[in-house]
Amino acid sequence: MTALPGGAPGSAAATPMRARAVVDLAAVRANVHALRERAPRAELMAVVKSDGYGHGALPCARAARQAGATWLGTATPQEALALRAAGDTGRLLCWLWTPGGPWREAVEADVDVSVSGMWALREAAAAARATGRTARVQLKIDTGLGRNGCQPADWPELISAARAAEAEGTLAVTGIWSHFACADEPGHPSIPAQLAAYREALAAAERVGLAPEVRHIANSPATLTIPESHFDLVRPGISVYGLSPSPEIGLPAEFGLRPAMTLSADIALVKRVPSGHGVSYGHQYVTPGETTLALIPVGYADGIPRHASGTGPVLVGGKWRTVAGRVAMDQFAVDLGGDTVEVGDEAVLFGPGDRGEPTAEDWARAAGTISYEIVTRIGTRVPRVHLDDLP
Ligand SMILES: *Cc1c(COP(=O)(O)O)cnc(C)c1O
């Protein structure tokens, strides 16, 4: 059994909240199903790093498992161990290691650990010897991303050492893997170049006698648009949460995806102000005439980008409004023009978009960033409310 223990379904109405990020777990499950249809011959690893891209790692991991994700992926070992502590027993890979580990805890918790260099192989092997267990190791090759991963020049040494450790029973090499740099730019020449480098690294590993269970390189854009990259396993993150990896490759709905998070806040104040009234720090916005302002009680401490000052969209009273002046730490204002709303009415910052609200992609454009950053940076001060249609 790989599913996490169930949790009580959340309710937005239970306690009054200034703001909330409602996460639709049925959407997460449907997104995993849609991704599995895109990669029908591969297993699926749902990437739940950074608290599930801000959506809540545990409930999203549970939903992904329910929808058939046979693997979970995290960046740090601490994130992986938290999933184990919450009861997840399925296959789980974590890849962002620094000297000191916690290798031993990961090996004891049956977490697959990624190794990109000799220092990490040595530490993983030492942990395995100390625990008397065989460490499950996945070797990562840098096929051109220039970030984590073993350089091709150093690959022969790493695979030979891994094979030797496997022969003595210290390690089992369960995976050979890599990561794309430009999979979200269809036709980019680095895509075939990385695939070719990956195939070479695989062949070299097989020549020294390694027989990995899973070979994988596909992130969300590759899962959605590069079928020849699927190998044994696909490793989507952002698309599990229903966002498109890039507006250039398509909207979520074009891939059968639905954004899972809706961020809203209760209006804290509505007031009439005269013409020429400065709004928020620096008076970057000055009312062009007598008007009504509504105060939205979230700010950059809650992850609302200050770069969206004067540009961020919000659905208030059935219409899109724009952040008036600067986003402050805890609040910002919108100008309702001739309209009015009540204190306590809901302002929707973003959601799936089908109630007329903006999307995380709209906020990304307003702030000059990507939707990944918008959802992932929603602060811990904003409660996550998980809606679930399963027990
Ligand atoms: C974050 C991450 C992913 C998921 O990427 P998406 O673009 O969100 O699908 C996959 N693999 C690795 C190594 C990652 O760091």
225 close to ligand 1 (CB < 6 Angstrom): no
53 is catalytic: no
Residue 4: the pLDDT is 53
Q: Does domain 261-387 have CATH number 2.40.37.10?
A: yes
For 216, the token pair is 């994988």
Cβ of 277 below 6 Å from ligand 1: no
Where in 240-383 does DSSP place strands (E)?
261-266, 269-273, 278-279, 285-286, 291-296, 313-316, 319-324, 332-335, 346-350
Length of the chain: 391
pLDDT in tens, the chain (391 residues): 344 544 444 444 567 899 999 999 999 999 999 999 999 999 999 999 999 999 999 999 999 999 999 999 999 999 999 999 999 999 999 999 999 999 999 999 999 999 999 999 999 999 999 999 999 999 999 999 999 999 999 999 999 999 999 999 999 999 999 999 999 999 999 999 999 999 999 999 999 999 999 999 999 999 999 999 999 999 999 999 999 999 999 999 999 999 999 999 999 999 999 999 999 999 999 999 999 999 999 999 999 999 999 999 999 999 999 999 999 999 999 999 989 999 999 999 999 999 999 999 999 999 999 999 999 999 999 999 999 977 6
Q: What is the CATH number of domain 25-240?
A: 3.20.20.10
Global pTM? 0.95
Kindly give the distance from the C-alpha atom of residue 192 to the centroid of ligand 1, in angstroms, as a whole number: 19
The ligand 1 atom at the shortest distance from the C-alpha of residue 47 is 4
Of 63, 45, 44, nearest to 6 by C-alpha is 63
Question: What is the C-alpha separation between 64 and 27, in angstroms, rounded?
Answer: 10
Main-chain phi, psi angles of 248, to 5 degrees: -65, -35
CA–centroid distance, 96 to ligand 1, in Å, is 12
pLDDT score for 1: 34
Beta-carbon contacts of 196 under 8 Å, excluding residues fewer than 6 positions away, are none
Q: Residue 162 phi/psi, 5° resolution? A: -65, -40
Of residues 140, 198, 271, 281, which has the active-site annotation? 281
Within this chain, domains 25-240 and 261-387 share the same CATH topology:
no
Please give the pLDDT value at position 14. 61
The verdict on the CB of residue 97 being under 6 Å from ligand 1 is no
Under 8 Å between Cβ of 247 and 366 = no
pLDDT, residue 250, reads: 95
The rounded Å distance from CA 265 to ligand 1 centre is 30
Spell out the residues 6+ positions from residue 342 whose beta carbon is closer than 8 angstroms to its own.
267, 270
Across the chain, where does the E strand assignment appear? 19-24, 43-47, 71-74, 91-94, 112-115, 135-140, 171-177, 214-216, 233-234, 261-266, 269-273, 278-279, 285-286, 291-296, 313-316, 319-324, 332-335, 346-350, 384-387
Q: How many A from CA of 50 to the centre of ligand 1?
A: 11
Choice from 28, 35, 47 to test ligand 1 binding pocket (greatest atom count within 8 A of CB) = 47
Q: Where are the domains positioned within the chain?
A: 25-240, 261-387
Give, for ligand 1, the residue of 60, 79, 219 to mutate: max count of ligand atoms closer than 8 Å to Cβ: 219
Residue 153 carries which DSSP code? G
Clarify whether 285 is annotated catalytic: no
